[in-house]
């Protein structure tokens, strides 16, 4: 399994800042932020599955454009996997004919460009020799993280989350964990905002990682533009013993 970072920023502002999305092999997207727009038409047409952590725009913004762009190039629907709560939000507020057409009904209900599949906590979705398993998260809308598992190990992506003891209990049960991608959206000077929006800042991240009982390479994602250097310095001060790296576009993980 090869996982390529298409975007991992908490915002936009230049060619190097793309919001959250990962390309798994050639056929799976994990979230669908602005980074998807850098893929070629041929690459977009090969995507069969999109797994969403939650419904916020920086994680779903490319989904409507993706299905509109390549729907007629494909011979089967694009499958969107998410919690039922997230799927309900997409149906009601995005693919609702007012913001964007409902491609689960286009070109026909019997032969649509897009279909939905509900993920359930802890239940693996098997795609060949790959498994994708939803994990608990704590955010302002219903949200999950994901474990990506192959024969060579597991990668965990927390998605957007505030403090979440249930997440770490689930992560601690993963005996083949190799990589942990964890959010830290704000610097400590905006700790109040981090708490209100159910994100993390370095002080809060240190409290969360104190619950981690597995060894893994740790990478920081979802840093807010304009605070990247400050936040990474604060992370070094708070959790330098974990030797965390800053996730960047085109980083590739292999499992």
pLDDT tens figures, 43-88 = 999 999 999 999 999 999 999 999 999 999 999 999 999 999 999 9
What is the CATH number for 7? 3.60.15.10
Residue 82: both structure tokens together = 């998410």
Residue 15 banded pLDDT, cuts 50, 70, 90: confident
Residue 135 banded pLDDT, cuts 50, 70, 90: very high
Tell me, yes or no, if the pTM score tops 0.95: yes
Residue 232 banded pLDDT, cuts 50, 70, 90: very high
Cα–Cα dist 206/200, whole Å: 9
> How many percent of the chain have pLDDT more than 90?
98
* Overall domain count for the chain: 1
Cα–Cα dist 21/239, whole Å: 25
∠ CA 99-26-71, rounded to 5° = 35
Torsion 43-44-46-52 (CA) sign: positive
Domain extent, residue 159, equals 2-254
Count of CB atoms within 10 A of residue 186's CB?
A: 26
User: What is the per-residue pLDDT for 14?
Assistant: 84
Per residue in 89-118, pLDDT (tens digit) is 999 999 999 999 999 999 999 999 999 999
């Amino acid at each position: 399994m090869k996982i390529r970072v298409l975007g991992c920023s908490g915002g936009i502002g230049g060619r190097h800042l793309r919001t959250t999305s990962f390309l798994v092999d050639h056929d799976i997207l994990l979230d669908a932020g602005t980074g998807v727009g850098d893929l070629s038409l041929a690459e977009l047409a090969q995507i069969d599955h999109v797994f969403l952590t939650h419904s916020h725009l920086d994680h779903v913004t490319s989904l409507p454009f993706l299905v509109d762009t390549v729907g007629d190039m494909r011979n089967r629907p694009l499958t969107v996997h998410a919690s039922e709560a997230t799927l309900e939000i997409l149906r009601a507020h995005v693919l609702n004919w007012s913001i964007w057409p409902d491609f689960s009904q286009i070109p026909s209900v019997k032969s649509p460009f897009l279909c939905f599949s509900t993920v359930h906590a802890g239940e693996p979705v098997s795609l060949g020799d790959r498994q994708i398993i939803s994990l608990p998260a704590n955010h302002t809308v219903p949200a999950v993280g994901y474990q990506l598992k192959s024969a060579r190990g597991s990668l965990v992506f927390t998605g957007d989350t505030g403090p979440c003891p249930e997440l770490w209990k689930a992560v601690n049960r993963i005996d083949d964990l190799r990589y942990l991608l964890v959010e830290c959206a704000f610097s400590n000077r905006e700790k109040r905002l981090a708490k209100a929006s159910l994100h993390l800042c370095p002080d809060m991240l240190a409290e969360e990682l104190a619950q981690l009982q597995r060894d893994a390479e740790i990478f920081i994602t979802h840093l807010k533009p304009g605070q990247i250097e400050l936040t990474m310095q604060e992370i070094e001060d708070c959790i330098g013993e974990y030797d965390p790296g800053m996730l960047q576009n085109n980083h590739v993980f292999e499992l």
